[in-house]
C-alpha cells in the first residue's frame, strides 16, 4: 500500500508544480497579446492607440492585476473548467478550439503509436532471438540509422516527393471541401490527408521499441530460467514467446503508456509541415500569437497526460511485478 500511496503523492505534487509552471512560463514571454492583435488588425507600421489596446485587452479578457492575483484567479478558473477565450480564434473559447482539434491528433498518434509498438516489439524480439544473424544486423543498423532522422525532416521529404512532385497525396489540411460526416467520401478524405503525417511518424517511432525490446530480451536470454526451459526440451517458440519476450515486455509497457500520454509533443512540427488541423498546429499558432489561454491549456493538457500515463504505468507495474513493490517498501 505504501508503494501506491507514494506514487499517488508524487503525482499530486508534480501536478501542482506543472500547473504553477504552466501559469508562469507564458507570462515570462516579452510582448502584449493585446498590442499584437491591434497591430495585426491595423498593420505593422500603424501607430498604436492606447485606448484601442486597452479595449482589445478588455475584449480578450487579458489578465491584469498582480501576478499573485492572476495566479489565484487562474487556479479558480481551472477548478471550474474555464480556460478562457482564445486570442487567435476569438470569440471562440479555448475548450471549443481544442475540442475540434484534439480528435485529429488523438486519432493520428493513437494509430501510429499502436502500430509502432506492435512492430517494434515483434522486430526487437525476433532480432534478439536471432542475435548476431544477418537479419539482426540489418534490423539493428537500420534502426540506428533511422533513429538519427527527425520526423519533421522526413515529413518535408514526403511532402515534396509524394505531395508536390508525384501528387499522390494532399499537401495540407485534414480534408478537402467535403462536409464532415460519417460517410465514405469524408472517411476517404481523412485517410488520404493523414497518410503522409502518419508515415512520417511511423518511420521513426518504432525505433525505440525495437532497440529497447532487443536489448532487454538479450539480457533475459542469459537468465537461469531460460536455460532451464531449454534444458526441459521446450520448443524454441515457447521459450522465446512465453519466457523471454514476456518478461522483456514489462519495461515496454511503461514506455508505451508514456508515449500515449505525450500525444502532443512529437507531432507539433509534423502537423505544422502538413498544416494538419490538430493540437500541434494549435500550439505553433498559440506561441506565434502569444495566445496565453490556448498555450497554457495545451501545455497543461500535454503534461497532465504524461503524468496520468506515468501514474497508470507505475501502478500497473506494481501489480504486474511484485519486485517493484518490495524494492520501495
In this prediction the pTM is 0.70
The answer to whether the CB of 15 falls within 8 A of the CB of 310 is: no
Question: How would CATH label the architecture of 102-156+202-328?
Answer: Orthogonal Bundle (1.10)
Helix (H, G, I), strand (E, B) or coil at 85: strand
Q: Which three cell numbers stand for residue 176?
A: 478537402
CB-CB neighbours of 166 under 10 Å: 9
The residues, any chain, with a CB within 8 Å of residue 56's CB and separated by 6 or more, are 34, 37, 38, 62
Query: Measured between alpha carbons, how far is 274 from 281 in angstroms, rounded to an integer?
Result: 9
Please provide the DSSP assignment of 40-54 as one string.
HHH-TTSPP-HHHHH
pLDDT of residue 34: 66
Question: Is residue 107 within a helix (H) or strand (E), and if so which, with residue range?
Answer: helix 94-129
Helix-, strand-, coil-residue percentages of the chain, each rounded to 5? 75, 0, 25
The answer to whether the CB of 128 falls within 8 A of the CB of 213 is: yes
The residues, any chain, with a CB within 8 Å of residue 13's CB and separated by 6 or more, are none
Residue (of 26, 37, 152) closest to 88 by Cα position = 37
The answer to whether the CB of 146 falls within 8 A of the CB of 207 is: yes
pLDDT in tens, 70-122: 788 888 878 887 787 787 787 788 888 888 888 888 888 888 888 888 888 88
Helices assigned H by DSSP within 203-320: 206-221, 224-231, 236-238, 246-261, 268-274, 279-288, 292-320
CB-CB neighbours of 142 under 10 Å: 13
Q: Which three cell numbers stand for residue 29?
A: 514571454
Give the distance from CA 169 to its chain's centroid: 24
Query: Measured between alpha carbons, how far is 95 from 69 in angstroms, rounded to an integer?
Result: 23
Q: Digits of tens for pLDDT over the chain (329 positions)? A: 777 788 788 888 888 888 888 777 766 766 666 666 666 666 656 666 667 666 666 655 555 667 777 788 888 878 887 787 787 787 788 888 888 888 888 888 888 888 888 888 888 888 887 788 888 888 888 888 887 777 778 888 888 888 888 888 888 777 776 666 666 777 777 788 888 888 888 888 888 788 888 888 887 777 777 777 778 777 777 777 777 777 777 777 767 766 665 555 567 778 888 888 888 788 878 877 777 788 888 888 878 877 887 777 777 766 665 655 555 55
Q: Which three cell numbers stand for residue 70?
A: 492572476
Amino acid at each position: 500500500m505504501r508503494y501506491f500511496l507514494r506514487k499517488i503523492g508524487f503525482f499530486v505534487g508534480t501536478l501542482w508544480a506543472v500547473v504553477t509552471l504552466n501559469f508562469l512560463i507564458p507570462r515570462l514571454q516579452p510582448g502584449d497579446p493585446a498590442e499584437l492583435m491591434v497591430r495585426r488588425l491595423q498593420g505593422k507600421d500603424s501607430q498604436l492607440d492606447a485606448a484601442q489596446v486597452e479595449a482589445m485587452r478588455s475584449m480578450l479578457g487579458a489578465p491584469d492585476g498582480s501576478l499573485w492575483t492572476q495566479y489565484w484567479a487562474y487556479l479558480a478558473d481551472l477548478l471550474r473548467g474555464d480556460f478562457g477565450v482564445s486570442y487567435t480564434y476569438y470569440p471562440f473559447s479555448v475548450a471549443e478550439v481544442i475540442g475540434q482539434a484534439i480528435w485529429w491528433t488523438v486519432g493520428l498518434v493513437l494509430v501510429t503509436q499502436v502500430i509502432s509498438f506492435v512492430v517494434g516489439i515483434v522486430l526487437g524480439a525476433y532480432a534478439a532471438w536471432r542475435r548476431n544473424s544477418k537479419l539482426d544486423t540489418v534490423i539493428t543498423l537500420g534502426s540506428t540509422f533511422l533513429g538519427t532522422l527527425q520526423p519533421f525532416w522526413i515529413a518535408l521529404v514526403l511532402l515534396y516527393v509524394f505531395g508536390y512532385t508525384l501528387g499522390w497525396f494532399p499537401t495540407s489540411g485534414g480534408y478537402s471541401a467535403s462536409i464532415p460526416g460519417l460517410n465514405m467520401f469524408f472517411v476517404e478524405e481523412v485517410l488520404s490527408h493523414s497518410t503522409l503525417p502518419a508515415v512520417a511518424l511511423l518511420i521513426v517511432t518504432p525505433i525505440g521499441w525495437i532497440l529497447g525490446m532487443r536489448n532487454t530480451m538479450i539480457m533475459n536470454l542469459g537468465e537461469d530460467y531460460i536455460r532451464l526451459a531449454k534444458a526441459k526440451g521446450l520448443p524454441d517458440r515457447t521459450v522465446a514467446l512465453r519466457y523471454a519476450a514476456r518478461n522483456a515486455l514489462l519495461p515496454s509497457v511503461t514506455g508505451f503508456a508514456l508515449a500515449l500520454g505525450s500525444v502532443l509533443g512529437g507531432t507539433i512540427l509534423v502537423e505544422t509541415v502538413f498544416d494538419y488541423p490538430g493540437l500541434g498546429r494549435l500550439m505553433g499558432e498559440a506561441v506565434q500569437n502569444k495566445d496565453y489561454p490556448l498555450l497554457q491549456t495545451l501545455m497543461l493538457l500535454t503534461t497532465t497526460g504524461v503524468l496520468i500515463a506515468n501514474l497508470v504505468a507505475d501502478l500497473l507495474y506494481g501489480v504486474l511485478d511484485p519486485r517493484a513493490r518490495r524494492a520501495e517498501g
